[in-house]
C-alpha cells in the first residue's frame, strides 16, 4: 500500500469519527426534535459503519503484509 493511500484512509477514518462525535453532540441537545434526532441518528450510524469498514480494510491489509 502506498503511503498516500494509507494517509487518505487514516484521514477518512478520523473524519468519520469526528463527524460521529459532532452528531452525538447534536443528539445530546435537549431541544432537538424527534424528527431531527432520527435523521441525526441515521447519519451517525452511517458514519460509524463507514469508519468500521475502513478499519476492517486496514486490518485485512495488515494481515496480508504479515503473511508475506
**pLDDT tens, position by position, 40-59:** 999 999 999 999 999 999 89
Q: What is the pLDDT of residue 10?
A: 76
Q: How far apart are the C-alpha atoms of 29 and 22, rounded to whole Å?
A: 11
Structure pTM?
0.79
Confidence bin at 8 (pLDDT 50/70/90): confident
Long-range contacts of 10-18 (CB under 8 A, 24+ apart): 12/50, 12/54, 13/51, 13/54, 13/55, 13/58, 16/47, 16/48, 16/50, 16/51, 16/54, 17/47, 17/51
Amino acid at each position: 500500500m502506498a503511503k498516500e493511500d494509507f494517509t487518505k484512509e487514516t484521514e477518512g477514518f478520523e473524519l468519520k469519527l469526528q463527524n460521529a462525535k459532532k452528531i452525538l453532540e447534536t443528539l445530546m441537545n435537549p431541544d432537538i426534535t424527534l424528527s431531527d434526532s432520527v435523521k441525526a441518528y441515521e447519519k451517525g450510524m452511517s458514519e460509524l459503519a463507514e469508519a468500521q469498514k475502513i478499519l476492517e480494510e486496514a486490518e485485512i491489509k495488515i494481515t496480508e503484509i504479515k503473511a508475506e
